[in-house]
Amino acid sequence: MNPQRYIYPYPHPAVTTDVVLFTIQMDTLSVLLIERKNPPFQSMWALPGGFLDISEDLESCAKRELQEETGIEGIYLEQLGTFGAPQRDPRERVISVTYFALSPSDHLCPRASSDAAEAAWFPINELPELAFDHAQIINLARQRLIAKLGYSTIAFQMLPETFTLSQLQSVYEVLLNEALDKRNFRKAILARNIIRETGETARHGNHRPAKTYQVLNPRQVEIIK
Amino acid sequence: MNPQRYIYPYPHPAVTTDVVLFTIQMDTLSVLLIERKNPPFQSMWALPGGFLDISEDLESCAKRELQEETGIEGIYLEQLGTFGAPQRDPRERVISVTYFALSPSDHLCPRASSDAAEAAWFPINELPELAFDHAQIINLARQRLIAKLGYSTIAFQMLPETFTLSQLQSVYEVLLNEALDKRNFRKAILARNIIRETGETARHGNHRPAKTYQVLNPRQVEIIK
DNA sequence: CCGGTTAGTGTAGTAAGTACACCATCGGTT
DNA sequence: AACCGATGGTGTACTTACTACACTAACCGG
C-alpha cells in the first residue's frame, strides 16, 4: 500500500474508465466481460476498466486497463459517455468515462489477470448479472453501435484487414438482426466507394472462392459519413 | 475557506462540468460565454461550468453551474463528451464532463454572478480567445449540433412553443448555413408528422400573417429519429 | 461428372428528394 | 380605394435512391 496521502481542500471523486468491447462470435454479437477478483461486487462479471492514473490521458487509461485485464490491445476506442450517478459505486463517488470498441471475430483470446479472475465473451442476449451500472452502459453502447452502422464505417472494425463481401454482409445482418438482400447490399456498399478488391480470392470451403476486399483508407475505419 | 481536508490513498482528479449553450441571434448561431472572475485564465472568456459537488449528479451540476453563472435555467441538456487531457488545467488534473444545449432566440438574458464578471452571447464565428480547451469543446458541440439536425428534433428547442414554418426554416438555414427551398422544406417537415397547426396565426409585420405550429409531443423535442 | 454450397450479377418498380414560379394576404402609403 | 412592398402559402415534373426478386458460376468432394 502506498504510504503517501493525497490531500485536497474539497472532496474529489475518483475517475475510472470502462470499455465495452464488442465482437461477433458464431453469428452472435458478444461483449467482453471480466470476473471481478476484488470487492465490491467480488466474483461478479463487469466491464474491463479501472482507475485513472493522475497523469494519464483518459483514452490511454481505457486502453491500459483493457490490456492489463484481458491482454487485448491495438484497438480503436471511441468515447461512449460518462456515468456518474452519486451511488453507483459503494466505496466512494466514482465517475466512469466509458468507451466502446469493436474487435474482429475470434481474433482475441481474453485471459485472466491480477484484477480479473477471468475474462470471457458473452452473447449480448445472455449477459450475467453485472456489477455497478454496467448493464446500463452496455445498453447504451449497443444502441450507439447500431446507430453508427448506417452512417459510419465501424462495421469494418469487426473484420480482418481483408474480407469477403459475404463476411461483411454477415456483420451487418448480425448487428441489425435481419436478413439483407445480397445484390442490394453489394450495390450499396460498392457505391460508397470505401473498399476495393485486393485481387486475391479466399476459399472458405468446397465452393466457389470469394474475391477479397480491403478498405481504401485504413485510417477512415471510424470516420462519420 | 473550508478548514476540512479530504484525504485519499491515491491522487484524485477534480471533476467539472461545462455547458455549450447555443442560440440564434440575428440569424447567427451564437454561444454563451462567461468572463472569468478568478484565476486561472482570469478575465478570459470561457464556457459556463464548474466543479462537481461530491454528492451531486453530473447533469444537475451542469444545470446548477449554468444557473449560478448566467441565471439561465429550465433547459434540456445533452451530454457531449468528456475532456481530460492531463495538462488542460494548470491548477490540478481536471476532468470536464461537457454538455450541450439549445435555447430559443433572444429568450434569455445572461447576467454576471459571483464567478462570472460577465455573461454574453458570441457569434460562433467571432469567438474570443478562450480559456482551457474550451475552443475544442465548442467545436465538437457545433459538429454534434449540425449532425443531429438531420435525424433529431433539436431544431425545435431553438424556437418558442409556437412558431411559424418560416421561423423553423430560418433555424435550419442558419445551422446548415445554406438556403433551403420553401416548398420542399415544408413538405419534408410536415411529412415527418411531428408538428401540428395551432389554429392561430401570427403577424410579424405588414404582410400576410403566418399560421403557427407546435410540436405534437413536447416530450419528444430531443428524441432521436 | 454429379451434387452441394457459396459467389456473383441486372432489371423493373417504387419511394424519396430536388428544382422550380406564381398567387394570397396583410399593412402602409398615396 | 388603389397600389406597393413584403412575407405566407401552394403543385408538378424530373431525377435519384431504394426495394424486390432469380438465375448462373466456380469450387470441392465423393
Contact flag, residue A203 CB and nucleic strand C, below 7 A: no
Length of chain B: 225
Distances (CA, A) of B134 to B93, B129, B224: 16, 9, 26
CATH 1.10.10.10, chain B: domain bounds: 154-220
Residue type, A163: F
Judge: B10–A7 Cβ closer than 8 Å, yes or no: no
Return d(Cα A101, Cα A81) in angstroms, integer.
Answer: 13
* Cross-strand bridge partners of residue A95: A15
Check: CB of residue A123 under 8 Å from CB of residue A28. yes
In this prediction, residue A119 carries a pLDDT of 92
For residue B220, give the DSSP letter: G
The pLDDT tens digits for B163-205 are 999 999 999 999 999 999 999 999 999 999 999 999 999 999 8
Return d(Cα B82, Cα B178) in angstroms, integer.
Answer: 31
Q: Which fold has domain A14-150?
A: Nucleoside Triphosphate Pyrophosphohydrolase (3.90.79)
Q: A9, A10, A24, A33: which is closest to A122 by C-alpha?
A: A33
Residue of chain A minimizing CA distance to B58? A84
Return d(Cα A163, Cα A172) in angstroms, integer.
Answer: 14
CA/C1' separation A108–D9 (Å): 61
Check: CB of residue A92 under 8 Å from CB of residue A15. no
In this prediction, residue A198 carries a pLDDT of 96
Average pLDDT score over chain B: 92
Residue with C-alpha cell 491495438? A74
Catalytic residue among A118, A129, A161, A222: A118
- pTM reported for the whole predicted model: 0.92
Q: Best of A1, A15, A224 to disrupt the B interface by mutation (most B CBs within 10 Å)?
A: A15
Return d(Cα A177, Cα A215) in angstroms, integer.
Answer: 24
What does strand D contact on the protein, if contact means CB under 7 A? A 181-184, 187-188, 191, 201, 203, 205-209; B 164-166, 182-184, 186-187, 201, 204-211
Contact flag, residue A210 CB and nucleic strand C, below 7 A: yes
CA/C1' separation A187–C4 (Å): 27
In this predicted structure, the answer to whether residue B225 has a pLDDT above a threshold of 50 is no
**Residues of chain B with pLDDT > 70: what percent?**
94
Nearest to B52 among A9, A13, A85 (CB): A13
Provide the ipTM: 0.91
CA/C1' separation B156–C26 (Å): 27
How far is the alpha carbon of A208 from chain B, nearest alpha carbon, in Å? 41
List all residues 6 or more positions away from B188 whose beta carbon is below 8 Å from its beta carbon. none
Residue A118 appears among annotated catalytic residues = yes
Residue B80 buriedness (CB in 10 A; 0-12 / 13-18 / 19+): buried
CATH 3.90.79.10, chain A: domain bounds: 14-150
Chain D footprint positions (protein CB, under 7 Å): 5-12, 18-22, 25-29
In this prediction, residue B221 carries a pLDDT of 57
CATH number of the domain located at residue range(s) B154-220 in this protein: 1.10.10.10
The pLDDT tens digits for B39-97 are 999 999 999 999 999 999 999 999 999 999 988 888 989 999 999 999 999 999 999 99
CATH 3.90.79.10, chain B: domain bounds: 14-151
Average pLDDT, consecutive stretches of 10 residues, N- to C-terminus, chain A (225 residues):
82 98 94 95 97 98 95 92 97 98 79 80 97 98 94 92 96 96 97 95 94 86 42
Per the structure block, which three cell numbers stand in for A47? 466491464
How far is the alpha carbon of B99 from chain A, nearest alpha carbon, in Å? 11
Nearest to B13 among A12, A82, A93 (CB): A12
CATH number of the domain located at residue range(s) B14-151 in this protein: 3.90.79.10
